[in-house]
């Protein structure tokens, strides 16, 4: 960044060609020159430094993505969500026909009731044989057989209760809900299709938490580390973003030989996963001519600056721009060191205009 402090460098004395002995009026050209004189701020073209960048393509990826499948086998009864729908955590995504589950619950409940009745009979036999044993009307062996049947009946009831609870729990899986706030990005079935465990029905992504993913070469992978910053340009986003590396995969992709790298992104609006991005890793600095971006104007689609000539006139000069650095921009061609360029009031200038200059003293911060 640069700070500018204005110091008056001097006023141009304009010769209007007037003679002290002449009564003739000023010429038309002198009047035009007076009208076309502008007060401007100028600065000298200087060297600065810009980062050396290594750029690679990448894409925006969600930090949260869920491929939602049914835990039950059955026909999809309702599927109300559509592609692009925003859903909240707990919102209904789809339902599975509960007919088969209800049948299982009915069978499990019948088995539980039978186990209850069997336990009651076994308990009655146990109580009766216990009394007969005290009266020495039955043998110990007979009593032990009845007690064993009683214990088995208790275990059978516990198993039947667990089966009923499990069957009833299956019913809750018939209604599938969103696990987090997000957007429906894929819809892989329609109502009436057969759902099966492991086969996704919809895909939901959290687009409020996004990252950028890319693959880097072995050389670049060896030079970067978690926590390093990088510049990111995302399609559809005008501003240049800064991201931080948070994931580096050491194992190379066997097909591309690249290493998967992920970088954080600031919160963005109207950006979807899969959007193209270009990531520029900073690998040092180089010297370059830097000028304030305010000096650059566009005339008929041509970018250029106004250069102040020795006779305090301005001339439009086409320039080729390069990398941006804060409020400055690199000039790759069109300017030479030490030339004076106009910073302010440059939108109305035309070639040949005279200027009264103030110099902006540029203090470069490290």
Please spell the DSSP secondary structure of 53-109, one letter per residue: EEEEEEEEEES-EEEEE-SS-EEEEE----TT-EE-TT-EEEEE--HHHHHHHHHHH
What are the residue boundaries of the structural domains of the chain, listed by start? Answer: 2-15+29-50+286-364, 54-64+207-285, 103-157
Reply yes or no on whether the pLDDT at 21 is more than 80: no
Q: What is the reported pLDDT for 245? A: 95
Handedness of CA 223, 228, 233, 235 (dihedral sign): positive
pTM: 0.59
Q: Tell me the C-alpha distance between 163 and 155, whole Å.
A: 12
Q: What is the percent of the chain with per-residue pLDDT over 90, rounded to a whole number? A: 42
For residues 214-237, average pLDDT: 92
Q: Tell me the C-alpha distance between 256 and 311, whole Å.
A: 60
Q: What is the reported pLDDT for 233? A: 93
Q: What is the reported pLDDT for 208? A: 87
Nearest to 314 by CA among 46, 45, 47, 36: 36
Q: 160 or 14, which is more confident?
A: 160
Q: 281 or 39, which is more confident?
A: 281
What is the homologous superfamily of the domain 54-64+207-285 according to CATH? Answer: Efflux pump adaptor protein, beta barrel domain (2.40.30.170)
pLDDT tier for residue 14 given thresholds of 50, 70 and 90 = very low
Q: What is the reported pLDDT for 327? A: 83
Q: What is the reported pLDDT for 289? A: 87
Q: What is the reported pLDDT for 3? A: 39
Q: What is the percent of the chain with per-residue pLDDT over 70, rounded to a whole number? A: 89
pLDDT tens string 228-279: 999 999 998 888 899 999 999 999 999 999 999 999 998 888 888 899 999 9
pLDDT tens string 272-322: 889 999 999 988 888 898 888 888 988 888 999 999 888 888 889 999 998
Q: Which fold has domain 103-157?
A: Helix Hairpins (1.10.287)
Q: What is the reported pLDDT for 276? A: 96
For residues 45-63, average pLDDT: 90
Nearest to 207 by CA among 178, 170, 176, 181: 181
Nearest to 80 by CA among 217, 215, 191: 191
pLDDT tens string 80-128: 999 999 999 999 999 998 888 888 888 888 998 999 999 999 899 888 8
> What integer best gives the mean pLDDT of the chain?
84
Reply yes or no on whether the pLDDT at 73 is more than 80: yes
Q: How far is CA 8 from CA 37, 114, 185, 348, in A?
A: 17, 104, 61, 22
User: CATH number of the domain at 2-15+29-50+286-364, out of 2.60.120.200, 2.40.420.20, 3.30.420.10, 3.40.50.2000?
Assistant: 2.40.420.20
Q: What is the reported pLDDT for 361? A: 56
> Are the beta carbons of 157 and 119 closer than 8 angstroms?
yes
Question: Which of these ranges, 7-16, 224-233, 330-339, has the smallest mean pLDDT?
Answer: 7-16
pLDDT tier for residue 328 given thresholds of 50, 70 and 90 = confident
Q: Tell me the C-alpha distance between 297 and 303, whole Å.
A: 6
């Amino acid at each position: 960044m640069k700070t500018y402090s204005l110091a008056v460098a001097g006023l141009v004395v304009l010769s209007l060609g007037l003679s002290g002995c002449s009564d003739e009026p000023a010429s038309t050209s002198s009047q035009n020159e007076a009208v076309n004189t502008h007060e401007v701020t100028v600065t000298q073209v200087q060297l600065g430094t810009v980062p050396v960048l290594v750029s690679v393509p990448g894409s925006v990826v969600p930090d949260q993505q869920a491929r939602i499948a049914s835990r039950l086998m059955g026909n999809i009864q309702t599927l109300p969500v559509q592609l692009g729908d925003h859903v909240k955590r707990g919102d209904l995504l789809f339902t599975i026909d509960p007919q088969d589950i209800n049948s299982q619950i009915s069978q499990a409940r019948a088995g539980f009731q039978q186990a209850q009745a069997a336990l009651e009979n076994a308990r009655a036999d146990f109580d009766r044989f216990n009394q007969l044993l005290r009266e020495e009307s039955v043998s110990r062996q007979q009593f032990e057989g009845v007690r064993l049947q009683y214990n088995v009946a208790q275990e059978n009831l516990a198993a039947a209760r667990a089966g009923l609870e499990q069957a009833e729990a299956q019913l809750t899986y018939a209604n599938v809900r969103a696990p987090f706030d997000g957007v429906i990005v894929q819809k892989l079935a329609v109502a009436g299709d057969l759902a099966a465990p492991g086969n996704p029905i919809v895909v939901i992504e959290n687009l409020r938490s996004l990252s950028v993913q890319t693959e880097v070469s072995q050389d670049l992978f060896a030079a970067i580390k978690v926590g390093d910053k990088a510049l990111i340009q995302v399609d559809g986003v005008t501003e240049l973003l800064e991201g931080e590396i948070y994931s580096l995969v050491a194992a190379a992709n066997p097909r591309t030989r690249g290493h998967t790298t992920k970088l954080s992104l600031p919160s963005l609006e109207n950006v979807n996963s899969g959007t193209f991005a270009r990531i520029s890793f900073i690998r040092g600095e180089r010297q370059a001519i830097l000028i304030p971006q305010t000096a650059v104007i566009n005339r008929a689609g041509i970018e250029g600056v106004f250069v102040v000539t020795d006779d305090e006139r301005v001339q439009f000069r086409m320039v080729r721009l390069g990398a941006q650095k804060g409020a400055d921009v690199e000039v790759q061609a069109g300017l030479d060191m030490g030339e004076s360029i106009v910073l302010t009031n440059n939108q109305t200038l035309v070639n040949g205009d005279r200027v009264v200059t103030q110099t902006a003293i540029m203090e470069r911060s490290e």
